[in-house]
Amino acid sequence: MSTMTFTSARHARAVVLSPHGDLDFGALPLLCRALAEMPAGTRDVTLDMRDVPFMDVAGVHLMEELRLFGLRRRASVETVGWQRQPLRVLRLNGRAVRDGRYRVSAARVLMHRPRPDGAGG
């Protein structure tokens, strides 16, 4: 059972989702439901990963859900605040990360490099 929670903040047509805790398959339905329930006018989504110290392959599936959300809604999607371990999972699963950025077709997914102290951000 996952102990992940998340907070969200809406600013006009932009939404910031901030998960808190480990992102595993138990947490995936919660975040996918949050995407599905976003208001129709949402055009910018930021996934703030600074409070996610651990992620398994469920995070890769979440990136695909974000990509599909961006395509369906013609929305810009970015992720920020990656810690080392989740970023490593993306790279190990074939996600091309160059200069701290990971881009998908219609949506834009940006990954910020972790701080040298490993605290994310």
What class is the 5-92 domain? alpha beta
- Render 18-59 in DSSP notation, one character per residue: EEES-BSTTTHHHHHHHHHTS-TT--EEEEE-TB---B-THH
Decide: pTM greater than 0.75.
yes
pLDDT band at 33 (very low <50, low <70, confident <90, very high): very high
Enumerate the domain spans of the chain: 5-92
Higher pLDDT, 100 or 34: 34
